[in-house]
Chain A
């Protein structure tokens, strides 16, 4: 099968791969490039574990074809901390006991990141809405919501 060239920026670094046409971005990231922070939970766009940020927008990488990402800027949870310092969201999830099995965590953090980029001081309802596409089967939603609100507060204090 003829391969398709794909080139994009992943967490600030240039990446180029040849993939089979029809390869999902999730498969390309995990199995070709080796960034396993997006998780495959359902492969049908319902659980949110594969969430990544493409050109500033939250996307499900299991429903995104790799070949449509040419020239895109992609962020995953593994690229969130800088210089070994945790991003405020990561710090808040860690401190607020907002992880249990951890499988949904990278997707949750991606969804929260996009929310805070667009809405720096969200209401609780806005946080719930922003996370509504991400399933946590350990049902630790309350600490996750609190973590996002805490991160928003620490961001605004930092800015002030």
Chain B
């Protein structure tokens, strides 16, 4: 590896001596000796196992739930339904005032996606819990479901989530997050070429090798220790406190050791119901997803659709960009209103465009709720934007890398969301990439700098 320290040397105090050097990780000795304690490595005498009865339908009303046969199954200790959960309707981001509460811990009267948790069974063994869960009888009235975001936004579409009242999140800015900068229509009118393209992606599962789960131990002093692989310890603790109507001082969360997360373990899913089970039985409880649940139940990266319309001049300048982005939240919000909002700020990309119009929608459908995953809200957008950039370059007959130099943002440029650009290093990165990839560009681009235009 070659390290070029000359770039931005005046903006740095260190000499980057750590870069490219191996450094021991503090957790590695535990990993290589098998001593690292993951949540599932805790075992307690008398520990119960929790299994969920899940909805086989994408959208249905629950007429009745009959747990009588399941209760008689050998080894069953406790069966929980919605009425057992103190504050059953919650939403994770309520902690930062992003509501309304729109998701049930256990389904109450209705299911909105295939796999939704309806009844929790606690038993002496995993097998007994699984067998008893199969004996729970739920009578469903199947409702029309909607799986496509644009269908969901049409008038007359089945309403997925009554807590919202319509199939999109309602921002303080209205039905979508909006960015308005310059005059996008005037930009298109002045452009030599206009190109509109649609891009879309499917949900992506993180598939960590360690599945989502927790082990809860009642401590005897009315406190509960929860060993968990959550990636969001305090979000989970605070949401659990709300859901169980239990002061946070009663909850001791032990975690930080996660067998792969990638954003897939930031939702508050297993801990509240497992702690409730421990509270109501007085026994330790283990709730761990099977591999099938990890793939089907845990939230994936959202499916997205991005429509990009660009106006471009023959000399390579992009003069107008209009983007409509759709984020498929699935049946519940989780982190998706935030993801869609990030997209609104991000869609101009690292390019300076004088006229920008962006609308991003967080849409509800009867699909598995989506949530965080590495760069959620912007990753799919970047794919779309950079494919669009290549298409634009081809359209006007420019080299795709030179086309990016022409439009690259530089320090001092105003971004569409009114944040002046600082610390841009795109030009310098592209200059090095041009050399490293042996993709030559004209000398004038190698003479450019992020510091100042014309430099």
Contact = CB atoms under 8 A, between A and B. Distances in A.
A103 B211 contact: no
A104 interface: yes
Interface in B243-265: 257-262
A76 B260 contact: no
Contact of B33 (A47, A86, A96): A86
30 contacts: A30-B43, A34-B43, A36-B40, A36-B41, A37-B33, A38-B34, A42-B209, A42-B291, A80-B33, A81-B33, A89-B32, A93-B31, A94-B32, A96-B22, A97-B23, A97-B28, A99-B28, A101-B209, A101-B260, A102-B27, A102-B30, A102-B257, A103-B208, A103-B209, A105-B31, A137-B206, A137-B208, A137-B209, A137-B262, A138-B260
Contacts of B24: 94-95
Interface string B26-47: 0111111111111011010000
Interface of A: 30-31, 34-44, 47, 49, 76-78, 80-81, 86, 89-90, 93-97, 99, 101-106, 109, 135-138
A77 to B, nearest CB: 4
B260 A137 contact: yes
A41 B32 contact: no
B291 A78 contact: no
A84 to B, nearest CB: 10
Interface in B362-417: none
Which has the most chain B C-beta neighbours within 10 Å: A37, A41, A95, A109?
A: A41
Contact of B32 (A109, A136, A137): A109
Which 4 A-B residue pairs are closest in the complex by CB-CB distance? A37-B34, A102-B31, A103-B259, A36-B41
A103 B210 contact: yes
B33 A39 contact: no
B29 A94 contact: yes
Contact of B34 (A41, A77, A95): A77
A41 B209 contact: yes
A137 B260 CA distance: 7
A39 B209 contact: yes
A104 B209 contact: yes
B28 A94 contact: yes
Given A42-B291, A137-B260, A90 B210 contact: no
B262 A86 contact: no
A70 B34 CA distance: 24
A39 B43 contact: no
Given A40-B40, A41-B211, A90 B32 contact: yes
The main secondary structure of chain B at its interface with chain A is: loop
Contact of B209 (A47, A77, A78, A99): A47
A105 B224 CA distance: 31
B83 interface: no
Contacts of B207: 137
A56 B257 CA distance: 31
A36 B29 contact: no
Interface in B168-184: none
Which has the most chain A C-beta neighbours within 10 Å: B31, B36, B260, B290?
A: B31
B290 A77 contact: no
B34 A76 contact: yes
A36 to B, nearest CB: 4
A142 to B, nearest CB: 13
A20 B70 CA distance: 23
B5 interface: no
Contacts of A36: 34, 37-38, 40-41
Given A36-B38, A42-B291, 12 more contacts: A31-B43, A37-B35, A38-B34, A41-B259, A94-B28, A97-B28, A99-B31, A101-B260, A103-B38, A103-B209, A105-B34, A136-B209
Interface string B5-33: 00000000000000000111101111111
Given A39-B38, A102-B259, A49 B33 contact: no
A68 to B, nearest CB: 20
A66 B22 CA distance: 41
Contact of B22 (A42, A77, A90, A95): A95
A78 B30 contact: no
Contacts of B258: 101
Contacts of A49: 209-210
A23 B33 CA distance: 25
Given A102-B27, A137-B262, A39 B32 contact: no
Contacts of A96: 22
Given A39-B38, A40-B40, A105 B32 contact: yes
B209 A93 contact: no
Contacts of A43: 290-291
A119 B107 CA distance: 56
A86 B291 CA distance: 32
A41 B28 contact: no
A78 B261 CA distance: 24
A103 B260 contact: yes
